[in-house]
């Protein structure tokens, strides 16, 4: 596998982990769909620290597939990767914004809606149980079958709580994933970072994710800005 191809696959997997398969419109709960469409974040809810985002929001609704990802830990060598997940309720609503440029950032808020608050609390407990596994650094390498050049990539995963985004005494949780592919003679370095905040409010779990493709780490001011978006997403939902 070529270094650039492997990097693209890994980045795509990170984004795809939070996106589910679409279903026909007639399968939607019309009331839930209408409510969600009117209560997602707006462009003004995104702080300038996160980039120059386009005004257009992409909105989608999905039915449950049974689970959603908390994080994926890459295997070493021939060992398979391990995915940690939680039950995703009955409906998922997704709002996404993108910045300008090929290497621009993107921001996504997924709202997982459950039958009642008891079920959403149980799902958030699954997240809290899974998150301690979202840690560590994994380094792998491969050799190009075309040129024989060796490439390496390192994935560093960390987690923690977000006291600034607390609802009814429940602190939000973050998972941060850094992806770094070293440059080779045939491809430039590939850098990618994903910072996600998991929040519980009433009968929903909100996952606010920021994807950055031009650096190996989301800065502290940017993390603070994503935390603010997560808070704004909660406010919009109950507003």
What pLDDT shows up at residue 187? Answer: 66
CATH number at residue 149: 3.40.1000
| Count of domains forming the chain | 1
Task: Check: CB of residue 84 under 8 Å from CB of residue 69.
Answer: yes
Residue 92 backbone phi and psi in degrees, to 5: -130, 135
What range does the domain containing 130 cover?
3-238
What pLDDT shows up at residue 140? Answer: 85
What pLDDT shows up at residue 86? Answer: 98
pTM of the model: 0.84
Q: What is the mean pLDDT of each run of 10 residues along the chain (239 residues)?
A: 37 37 51 92 95 92 91 86 94 93 85 96 97 94 76 90 89 93 68 93 97 82 96 94
Beta strands per DSSP E along the chain: 58-63, 68-73, 82-86, 91-98, 106-113, 136-143, 150-167, 170-181, 190-201, 204-212
What number of residues does the chain have? Answer: 239
What pLDDT shows up at residue 228? Answer: 97
Task: Check: CB of residue 196 under 8 Å from CB of residue 218.
Answer: no
């Amino acid at each position: 596998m070529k270094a650039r191809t492997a990097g693209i696959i890994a980045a795509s997997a990170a984004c795809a982990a939070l996106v589910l398969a679409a279903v026909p419109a007639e399968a939607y709960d019309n009331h839930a769909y209408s409510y969600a469409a009117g209560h997602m974040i707006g462009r003004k809810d995104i702080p300038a620290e996160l980039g120059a985002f386009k005004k257009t929001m992409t909105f989608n609704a999905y039915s449950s597939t049974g689970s959603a990802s908390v994080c994926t830990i890459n295997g070493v060598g021939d060992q398979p990767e391990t995915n940690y997940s939680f039950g995703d309720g009955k409906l998922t609503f997704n709002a996404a914004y993108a910045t300008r440029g090929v290497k621009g950032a993107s921001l996504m808020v997924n709202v997982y809606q459950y039958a009642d608050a008891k079920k959403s609390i149980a799902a958030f407990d699954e997240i809290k149980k899974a998150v301690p596994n979202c840690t560590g650094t994994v380094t792998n390498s491969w050799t190009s079958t075309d040129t024989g050049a060796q490439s390496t990539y390192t994935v560093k995963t960390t987690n923690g709580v977000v006291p600034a985004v607390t609802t009814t005494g429940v602190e939000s949780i973050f998972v941060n994933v850094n992806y770094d592919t070293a440059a080779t003679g045939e491809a430039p370095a590939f850098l990618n970072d994903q910072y996600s905040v998991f929040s519980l409010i009433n009968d929903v779990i909100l996952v606010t994710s920021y994807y950055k493709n031009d650096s190996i780490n989301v800065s502290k001011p940017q993390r603070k800005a994503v935390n603010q978006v997560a808070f704004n997403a909660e406010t919009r939902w109950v507003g």
